[in-house]
Amino acid sequence: MIEIKNLDFHLHNLSESNRCFNEEEKLGLLYGMTNLEEKLNKEVYLWGKIEGIENDYYITYNLNNDKFFPEKKFYYCNNDYEFKQIIKGNDMLIEKIGKKIPFTLFTGIPSSLYADDCESIWEEVESQNDGTSESDENDENDESDESNKCDENDENDENDENDENDGSNGSNGSDCSDISKGNNDKSEELESGNPKREGKKKSEKDTKKEKQSTVTELERLSYIVRKIDEEAFIVPYNSVKITNNLEMKFANFTGLNILDALKLTSWVHFRYPKNLTYDKIKNCNTFFLNNFLDSIKSDVPASMWNIKVNEQLSKISIMNCLYPGYVFYHILNTPFYASLYIGNGIFNYDLPFLLP
């Protein structure tokens, strides 16, 4: 994480990997990040730069620690270095557009249109939503059919028992009656309707009515920044820890030696872990759990990560071949590490054909 106080130090170390800013950009970033910190009263970190045809986007972020895992809030600016918050757009629509026009460069004008005719793409998005809603309705109908079948079986069992025992109730009848009561309760709930599901259906109908006909470049910028951040930005595995009280903290990281640094398991994604469960935290023998984030070794393909060591064997650099422009560095046996993205925001579509 590149803070204001360590801005020059980290940028100097990253410049050896051909990721750097000129002096004018450094002064502008220092000015803009300082003003943003005073405005937010929170620490601000440098994320990188998205290169555009006319202007570039400089990206910063701060951490919101109100949730279990810190949430990043991103800010952008152009050459004026006045940072503004990046607002999230319709990710599903932007992803569909990106598949149709994959190699579109940013212009550097936030208000410019990325796509101006989205009606056909909206129909595809709506059809997917309709498919998911139909599957949910089918599940509900299956549950109601099962409850009705159990009710019919219950009535048949009661009639048979009345013929054999003349009013005596068997244990099987009482058990099935209990099941039928539970199923009747479920069917009543299904008939009455779940308010949460009804609310979701109403909201989906409202979004369908308000079809988004255009997508701005700022909305695309929000999607690209968050996607790169989720799939590329990494930290050392033991630099973050979680307590039994579900509190995530940054550990006192002292550095890695060269043998550990060359292992893919030593580096993890700084994002909400996909396989973390409460039982894993609860059953941990130690007070701190420091290996709960997703390792980059599990990425597909894992060979998209390229680890290099400098000639002095004192610093390593890790680059992501899927997102050219991302670089991470760590000075061995020290607590210093940082990462940065400087690129056009387009990932490498040819990577599967370039790997051995």
Secondary structure string (H, E, C) spanning the chain: CECCCCHHHHHHHHHHHCCCCCHHHHHHHHHHHHHHHHHHCCCCEEEEEECECCCCEEEEEEEECCCCCCEEEEEEECCCCCCEECCCCCHHHHHHHHHHCCCCCECCCCCCEEECCCHHHHHHHHHHHHHHHHHHHHHHHHHHHHHHHHHHHHHHHHHHHHHHHCCCCCHHHHHHHHHHHHHHHHHHHHHHCCHHHHHHHHHHHHHHHCCCCCEEHHHHHHHHHHHHHHHHCEEECCCEEEECCCCEEECCCCCCCHHHHCCHHHEEECCCCCCCCHHHHHCCCCCEECCCCCEHHHCCCHHHEEEEECCCCCEEEEEECCCCCEEEEEECCCCCEEEEEEECCCCCCCHHHHCC
**Residue 234 and residue 264 in contact, taking contact as beta carbons nearer than 8 Å:** no
Most confident listed range (19-28, 149-158, 199-208):
19-28
Q: What is the pLDDT of residues 326-342, one digit of tens each?
A: 999 999 999 999 999 99
* Bridge partner list, 342: 49
Residue 233: C-alpha distances to residues 111, 225, 267, 304, 326 (Å): 27, 11, 10, 13, 8
Q: Answer yes or no: is pLDDT of 301 > 80.
A: yes
Residue 131's pLDDT is 55
Average pLDDT over residues 209-232: 85
Q: What is the pLDDT of residues 227-238, one digit of tens each?
A: 999 999 999 998
Residue 285's pLDDT is 52
Q: Answer yes or no: is pLDDT of 100 > 90.
A: no
Q: What is the pLDDT of residues 240-281, one digit of tens each?
A: 877 666 666 777 889 999 999 999 999 999 988 887 665 666
Q: What is the pLDDT of residues 169-199, one digit of tens each?
A: 444 444 444 444 444 444 444 344 454 454 5
Separation between Cα atoms, residue 274 and residue 233, nearest integer Å: 15
Average the pLDDT over each of 65-74, 88-97, 110-119, 298-307 and give the range with the smallest value: 110-119
Mark 300-318 as b/e (b = at least 16 C-beta within 10 Å).
eeeebbeeeeeeeeebbbb
Residue 247's pLDDT is 66
Residue 39's pLDDT is 95
Comparing 194 with 53, which gets the higher pLDDT? Answer: 53
Average pLDDT over residues 295-322: 91
Pairing of strands 84-85, 71-77: antiparallel
Q: How many CB atoms lie within 10 A of CB 94?
A: 22
Residue 182's pLDDT is 46
Give residue limits of the domains in the chain: 7-115+216-354, 119-209
* Bridge partner list, 246: none
Average the pLDDT over each of 122-126, 176-180, 283-287 and give the range with the smallest value: 176-180
What's the pTM value of the predicted model, to 2 decimals? Answer: 0.73
Comparing 19 with 135, which gets the higher pLDDT? Answer: 19
